[in-house]
Amino acid sequence: MTRFRTLDLLVTVLIGAAFGVAFLGYGQLYTLIGPLTAAFKPAEGLLAGIWFLPAVLAALIVRRPGAALLAEMVASLLEMLLGGQWGWGTAISGLLQGGGVELAFALFRYRRFTLPVAVLGGILSGALEWVWERFAYYPEMSWPYALILLVLFLLSGAVLAGGLGWAASRALAATGAVDSLPSGREHVRATEA
């Protein structure tokens, strides 16, 4: 269970790389919505869950300890190297986001790859990322607003990372594209039963 096969590594790195490139565009969305969230800064938390998605997706598809962290770190480092707007802070975010998802699956000893565990991974990522962003990006934010930001990070992590990640992993398994991975084999067994 703990050993990565070459295929596991390739899939994990591909997930991270695909999201790393996509995150450049997603980062620009924050610039575009800046005028909309200027009056209520915590609203930016509603979009945070997408940043945690590579970790959740890798954990659900590859199902190896460390897959979530590796995918998230590849995504964040690639985004940073391609000129992402947050520089080295991106790598710190990747570490925290991937770590939150790893923690959720570790709590269940990497034996449960269900929607509730994926949602918990998104929530824990949101909590860890909020700690970093509260002091790195929003130090001037009042505590009531900061707590609203936390709630929105947790909600976004649950829905956009956990829920969407789980749905995406199920959709990929249904196509047969991941049949050689644990998630694909589980899907094949479920459809044969």
pLDDT at 2: 61
Rg, Å, the chain Cα set: 16
pLDDT at 23: 94
User: CB count, 10 Å around CB of 169?
Assistant: 26
Q: Mind listing the pLDDT tens digit of every residue in the chain (193 residues)?
A: 568 889 999 999 999 999 999 998 888 887 888 788 888 989 989 999 999 999 999 999 999 999 999 999 999 999 999 998 888 999 999 999 999 999 999 999 999 999 999 999 999 999 999 999 999 999 999 999 999 999 999 999 999 999 999 999 999 999 988 888 888 788 778 777 6
Assess contact for 182 and 8: CB atoms under 8 A: no
Burial grade of 100 (CB within 10 A; 0-12, 13-18, 19 or more): buried
| Sign of CA pseudo-dihedral 85, 87, 92, 94 | positive
Q: Which domains does the chain have, with CATH numbers?
A: 6-192 (1.10.1760)
Q: Give me 72's structure tokens.
A: 């998230």
pLDDT at 38: 83
